[in-house]
Structure 1
Amino acid sequence: MENRKNMSAMQFDITDIEWLDSNQAKGEQYRKVISQLDVINKYLGNESQMKKSIDDFLDNNSIEKGRTIRVTDLGCGSGYILKKVGDLLINRGYIPVLIGVDVNPEAIDLARGKLSQYDNHMICTAIDENFEIPTTDFLISSHFIYHLNGSQLKNFLLLNKNKIAFALFFSELYQSKLSIGLFQLFSRILNFENEVRQDGVKALKRAPKLEQFKQLFSSFHSIEVRKVPFFRTIISGQL
């Protein structure tokens, strides 16, 4: 019988590795690339759609004001989205505990710096082969779950479902020829680094199509897969 802990650990399907996932992703170039990804998060819908999804959940569920809400971000990068979610929770009257998870130690350092202004407790931990989701209220991720194939994703969610108290919120780009062309145009206009351009195209080519996202989550009846602007899907709900 397979060990339960190993089954719930992250397993990456990296056949054509992206620069950000490689051992070259470090130093000044890494920080430059990450800052450009934060621009993409801000202006191409990730930040606004993630915040709207969480805002809607808070509107539709009776969660006592003043309570602590733990948020875990898988693949947190610089901590940009995690910080924005923390700000939202504070504005809504909650006390956020923010947990950023990333494979890159430099991302962890950036996230710690970005989140250091908070008085409340934050943890940033790197994913390793034994990583499991910590007990959390919200599980969020952006452009991350396509690293897992269908069976890995389902096993991971099923084996960790009891660790997510409220809901998950995944913001993902879906694959289309038009999205790849527009991303390449956007990257040229803003003069993004080659690493950003190449990784973006790789990510879009590897990402599931919208209908494939719906199929992946079809067995989770409380999970909604919504199409939103900028070739993005928001996957949200309770496991």
Structure 2
Amino acid sequence: MGALQRDDAAREEMDRPDCDALLLRRTYAQFPLVNRAVSGWRKNYEQFIRPVLRKQGHSRILDIGCGGGDIAVNLYRWALADGLQVTVCGIDPDQRAIDFARAAGRRRGIPESVVEFLPVGSSQLAADGERFDVVLSNHLLHHLTPSELQQLMADTEKLCPAVALHSDIRRSRLALVLFGAATLPLAGTSFIRRDGLVSIRRSFTAEELAQRARPGWEVEAASPYRNLLIWRSESDG
């Protein structure tokens, strides 16, 4: 069985401005299920994020490309359970994602004063001089063009004085087979299965991502089938 070649020409349905609105909302609603199963953010929080938060009296977290907002909300809840004071900002240039995330946050009883969602990109926040103790993204990198990937890293360096963690899918043929089988019950109910398979084909191997990383960035291969693109500022050691 040969290596799975990257298909950067494939496009996810949910990225289309004219995609089916109902299927898009269902996709956002199903993100928490998929993220719990494959994204590993609880471990990321414990390993990379919580140590930074414990050094601060109050911390700010930025989630770039926040989608339906479930990771931003989970990070706030985990920090709160650990007795840590944080505010979380989720950003996404797609207003549809922001509208869903805001509504979902209200349903969960999360005050906008502690978890807010804004329809902006990272470059705007960097230009405004915003600073966050932790910057992260989930399953964003494979969506980006080469220039957008470089811009994301440059923005992150301006925004973050401590630690940044961009987590994405790691491409493999086995990941494609396993995800396709696991999400078969979701076929037709949303874009999760179709777009997830496209995402795997568009994603990088760890070696490919390392070749694209700016100086000072590290790439770690994590389980299951994830890449972590990590920035640690000099002040954070």
**Smaller-chain TM-score bracket:** 0.7 to 0.9
Matches within 5 A, 1:34-53: 34-53=28-47
Deviations 1:182-223 (A, max 9, x none): 111111145563622221111111111121122223621xx4
Deviations 1:5-42 (A, max 9, x none): xxxxxxxxx85431111113463322211222221101
C-alpha displacement of 1:85: 0.8
Letter matched to residue 40 of structure 1 = V
What is the aligned partner in structure 2 of residue 118 from structure 1?
Answer: 110
C-alpha displacement of 1:168: 0.6
Residues 48, 163 of structure 2: 8 Å contact kept: no
What is the aligned partner in structure 2 of residue 5 from structure 1?
Answer: none
Percent identical across equivalent pairs? 19
SS of corresponding position for 1:169 = strand
What is the aligned partner in structure 1 of residue 162 from structure 2?
Answer: 166
Q: Given the superposition, is the C-alpha separation of residues 112 and 159 from structure 1 closer, same or farther in structure 2, using an over 3 Å criterion?
A: closer
Q: In structure 2, how many angstroms separate the alpha carbons of the residues matched to 1:160 and 1:51?
A: 18
C-alpha displacement of 1:164: 0.9
Deviations 1:86-129 (A, max 9, x none): 11222233222111112322321222233343343433222369
What is the aligned partner in structure 1 of residue 140 from structure 2?
Answer: 144
Deviates more, 1:211-220 or 1:128-137: 128-137
Letter matched to residue 153 of structure 1 = L
* Equivalent residue pairs, number: 220
Q: Given the superposition, is the C-alpha separation of residues 235 and 129 from structure 1 closer, same or farther in structure 2, using an over 3 Å criterion?
A: closer
Q: Given the superposition, is the C-alpha separation of residues 26 and 83 from structure 1 closer, same or farther in structure 2, using an over 3 Å criterion?
A: farther
Q: Name structure 2 gaps, 5 residues minimum.
A: 1-7
Residues 1:82 and 2:72 are matched in the alignment: yes
SS of corresponding position for 1:165 = coil
TM-score normalised to the size of structure 2?
0.80
TM-score normalised to the size of structure 1?
0.79
Q: Among 201, 205, 208, which residue is 2:201 paired with?
A: 205
Q: Among 101, 124, 130, which residue is 2:91 paired with?
A: 101
Q: Name structure 1 gaps, 5 residues minimum.
A: 1-13
